[in-house]
Amino acid sequence: MKNGKFIVFDGLDGSGKGSQMHRLAKYLFRSSKNNHLFLTREPYTSIHTEKIRQLLKDNVDPKAYAQEFTDLFVADRIEHAVVMEKILAEGVHVLCDRYKYSTLAYQATQGMAVEKLIKLHVNLPVPDLAIFLDVPGEVAAQRISSDGERPHKEVFEQVDFLRELRNNYLRLPMLLPEEHIVVIDATKPIEDVFEQVKREVEAVLTA
């Protein structure tokens, strides 16, 4: 049986990752009966997830807790990868909201060496396509502030942090030249962004 494709959406909060991923899922589901899909996100549901959420809720100093965040996210991702690999082996396409690229960008912004972060992920599955939805930090901050479902702003959602975070995301294609990472301007209208998402995904599915 042919493996499913592993497709990741990543980027700043407020970039539209979740909405674009769900648009893609609906499109793929309707376009062919052969498209079997599994949608997931990170952090995954593991023993580490609650610790991650508590640290975010407590608004701890990002620099002081960089190693702890790294350890928790990587441990959570290792468990998640086991689940995803089994599903991919069954010929099911996996769409994932955030993956290792979040750790490489966020924890680098917290002060961790990105080379060390890359080494922590060498044995994990590499996506067939990683889509980085790019928005400036100011745009992300504005979208986050207008989201009525967010009860409070986390320390990772401050505009200065978001600016540096974006720069670290934009470095990833150069740092990971063997990986299929596509940067899409997510300041454009939602439908325009989705048209580009579709083109990139269809190229992977038909390769």
Q: What is the pLDDT of residue 151?
A: 52
Q: What is the residue whose two structure tokens read 């269809």?
A: 202
pLDDT in tens, 31-42: 999 999 999 999
Asked if 168 contacts 137 with a C-beta cutoff of 8 angstroms, the reply is no
CB hemisphere CA count around 15 (13 angstroms): 27
Tell me which residue of 157, 99, 160 sits closest to 129, measured CA to CA.
99
Distance CA 111, CA 64 (A): 9
Q: What is the pLDDT of residue 57?
A: 76
Please state the pTM of the whole predicted model.
0.94
CATH architecture of 6-205: 3-Layer(aba) Sandwich (3.40)
Instruction: Name the stretches of the chain with pLDDT < 50.
Output: none
Q: Where are the domains of the chain?
A: 6-205
Q: What is the pLDDT of residue 1?
A: 80
